[in-house]
Amino acid sequence: MNSMILHLASRAAVIALGALAVGILGGCSAGKADIVTTNPPITALTQAVAAGTGLQVVGLVGPGVDPHEYEASPEDVKKIGGASVVLRNGLGLDAFLDAPVKSSGQRNVVTVTEGVRVRSVVDAGGQREDDPHVWHDPTNDKIMVDNIVKALTTAYPDKASAFQKNGTAAQAKLDQVDAEIKQLIATIPAANRKMVTNHDAFGYFIDHFGLTFIGAVIPSVSTQGDASAKQIAELQDTIRREGVKAIFAESSVDPKVASQIARDTKVKIVADLYGDSLGKPGSGADTVDGMLLQNAKKIVEALK
């Protein structure tokens, strides 16, 4: 983004929106970062906890960017070195942080997924791997909020009560959306509650809300790698046999192969679920709870 435009935009936002300006800076390149975060869900949860405190939260991986392929820029390294605290997802998703943390001398790095329920999967090569997409289960998000409140309180003890109050409000919102999504999912006929996704990003959502995972176009919890012709043929057979209603691809991953499979098997494709990312500011999917609800609505619409 042009830094002059960004500067003017964020100044205007500061004047017009006060604390909301924190959100405008996420993923962009201007301004001092008090708190650095990695992927958009962590950024959004941290912005919710830090709201109204005047602290600048800067997410390195912007909306719509694939975190699996992300590499830190020299600008990122500066931000990482200058921040009071760096919050990461862990579970292999933000391994790009290791080198810049080391070279910048940053010592206060907190993994916010500590203590969440981790889904273990076997990848295409038969290796057991932790699924990093933990934020698709709202009960995990609530644990992450607790971890963020703790980390920010350690870095800024004078703002403890604001973090606590914001954290409690964010958790209440997550509970509310959890209940709302359960009601939505209940409207899908039981035989239709089957998910084929682009990469294996929705396992936590599927487990938590009682859906069934049929398969992924990229058979991995990462976006790297391609399915073989044999794997694609097998997935197409399964889609036909199971009477799958739709294939779900994501906003941040090219849905080319998924679209081809959808055409061949004559099922719908939903190409804009949020798997790794969140929506742009103002889209309603720029918060974790908003993103979960928008995904749920699209899933219900396609499977009903």
Q: What's the min distance (Å) between Cβ of 51 and Zn ion?
A: 27
| Among 76, 94, 276, 286, interactor with Zn ion by CB under 5 A | 276
Q: What's the min distance (Å) between Cβ of 252 and Zn ion?
A: 8
20 vs 214 by CB, closer to Zn ion: 214
Residue in the shown chain whose Cβ atom is closest to Zn ion: 276
132 vs 167 by CB, closer to Zn ion: 132
Structure tokens, 34: 């008090």
Q: What's the min distance (Å) between Cβ of 128 and Zn ion?
A: 17
145 binds Zn ion (CB under 5 A): no
136 vs 173 by CB, closer to Zn ion: 136
167 vs 255 by CB, closer to Zn ion: 255
Q: What's the min distance (Å) between Cβ of 221 and Zn ion?
A: 7
| DSSP letters for 133-164 | -GGGSHHHHHHHHHHHHHHHHHH-GGGHHHHH
> Contact region for Zn ion (CB under 5 A) — 2-10, 95-103, 149-157, 194-202?
194-202
| DSSP letters for 230-294 | HHHHHHHHHHHHHT--EEEEETTS--HHHHHHHHHHT-EEEEEE-SS--PPTTSS-SSHHHHHHH
| Among 49, 201, 216, 273, interactor with Zn ion by CB under 5 A | 201
Instruction: Give the 3-state DSSP-derived string for 17-61, with helices as H, strands as E and coil as C.
Output: HHHHHHHHHCCCCCCCCCEEECCHHHHHHHHHHHCCCCCCEEECC
Q: What's the min distance (Å) between Cβ of 222 and Zn ion?
A: 7
Rounded Cα gap, residues 198 and 270, in angstroms: 10
Q: Strand 128-130 to strand 35-37: parallel, antiparallel, or no bridges (unpaired)?
A: unpaired
Question: Which residues contact Zn ion (rule: CB under 5 A)?
Answer: 201, 276
